[in-house]
Amino acid sequence: MGIVTAACAAYASLAAWLWLTFAQGMFWRTDVRLPPRTAPTRWPSVAIVVPARDEAEVLPRSLPSLIAQDYPGAAEVVLVDDGSTDGTGELARRLAAEHPGLPLTVVSPGDPAPGWTGKLWALRHGVAIARTAHATEPDFLLLTDADIAHEPDSLRELVAAATSADLDLVSQMARLRVVGFWERLVVPAFVYFFAQLYPFRRVNRPSARTAAAAGGCVLLRTGAAVRAGVPDSIRQAVIDDVSLARAVQRSGGRIWLGLAERVDSVRPYPALADLWRMVSRSAYAQLRHQPLLLAGTVAGLALVYLVPPAALLAGLAAGHPAVAWPGGLAWLLMAGTYLPMLRYYRQPVALAPLLPFTALLYLLMTVDSAVQHYRGRGASWKGRTYARPSDA
């Protein structure tokens, strides 16, 4: 009976990988980059809004890149100092004085109102300032995190893509930092898993039902933001980027999501504990704080990622080809679909077979996220802990 059960699990895992490889929107491909674009006849105005909370460590590598944007139209930067205690606001003003370029405004909204996450409260304040600072409100808003560095032509290319394809939201998944051992092991898989959940090609279809964005770099038409009622309509969202994309899509807006070539995160995650916090702080929120979804996710991760190597090794050890070969083929498909992401991150192909171990780490991070939630410490970030939306 044990052999039959093991064989069934191995074949089920292989079936899952055949479906993921060929029927899940080609999620593993990394060639979804900005769509074809041409320069508009008139460059629209843009306000760059940067929420920042205790970002003094990364701001010297990110803010100057925004101020230095080579943009032909009117543009400005609004940095929202969200209750920082490390001198983020003062540092931002000093960096603006040292790096001439786009004008910078630094504002502080105070503590979030009840029912708001800190980032969305900061974005609400920054967007309001940007829309009322001049006689006419900006045509576009670039919502970008304080740890994201942009090449000088980043804004120009984003706007050209939006105007050429008549898009209301254009988002790029910034290339995350990959330097240390744990970053190499965990970070490419993070983007791989995200693309598996939200295949970029499906998101980008005009009639798509799948909606997602990458919060580190979102270019949004101001009119689309008004129609979608954002950020007010998503004020409780912990996973704000996906919620933003859904709100824009539901209001009739066209969205696009892809991988970045010239937009990079400069935030370091040198230790496993740093990466663990990054994932676990919102993993259970992604599951809408539902125990049944958590159980299903754990079972699914085990079947898809842990069964293949276990079946191959157990089948070989016990001399049962019916267990070994489907497990081995599933593991091969897993590693093969991971290779493009490793190449995108310029990492060795030898990391591909280690994806089951990385998936095990993510499984444990997800369980820990649920544990922390029920201990009252879930969805916490930089000293703030957020209740589930129904409790807020």
Given a cut of 90, whether residue 238 has pLDDT beyond it is: no
Mean pLDDT, rounded, of the chain: 94
pLDDT at 111 over 70: yes
pLDDT tens sequence across 125-153: 999 999 998 889 999 999 999 999 999 99
Whether 389 shows a pLDDT value over 70: the answer reads no
pTM for the model = 0.94
Distance CA 392, CA 387 (A): 5
pLDDT band, very low/low/confident/very high, at 123 (cuts 50, 70, 90) = very high
Other C-beta atoms closer than 10 Å to the C-beta of 310 total 18
Whether pLDDT at 390 is above 60:
no
Taking residues 92-104, report their average pLDDT: 96
pLDDT for 2 equals 83
Spatial contact of 185 and 358, defined as CB atoms under 8 Å apart: yes
Tell me: the pLDDT tens digits for 174-214? 999 999 999 999 999 999 999 999 999 999 998 888 999 99
Cis omega (within 30 of 0) for bond into 40: no
- DSSP code of residue 178: -
Alpha helices in the chain (DSSP H): 2-23, 59-67, 88-98, 118-132, 154-165, 181-197, 200-203, 222-228, 240-250, 272-286, 291-301, 307-318, 321-344, 355-374
Backbone angles phi, psi at 290, to 5 degrees: -105, 120
Of the candidates 372, 7, 66, the residue with the CA atom closest to the CA atom of residue 219: 66
Give 378's pLDDT tier (boundaries 50, 70, 90).
low
Residue the block writes with tokens 């769509």 = 35
Instruction: Confirm if 75 and 45 have CB atoms less than 8 A apart.
Output: yes
Residue 331 to residues 200, 305, 336, Cα–Cα distance (Å) = 23, 8, 8
- Residue 264, pLDDT > 60, answer yes
Q: How far apart are CA 149 and CA 363, in angstroms?
A: 30
* pLDDT tens profile 37-75: 999 999 999 999 999 999 999 999 999 999 999 999 999
pLDDT of 76 above 70 = yes
Q: Cα dihedral sign for 176, 214, 343, 37? A: negative
Q: Is the pLDDT of residue 1 over 70?
A: no
Q: Closest by alpha carbon to 255, among 222, 223, 216, 211?
A: 211
Distances (CA, A) of 351 to 158, 288, 335: 32, 31, 9
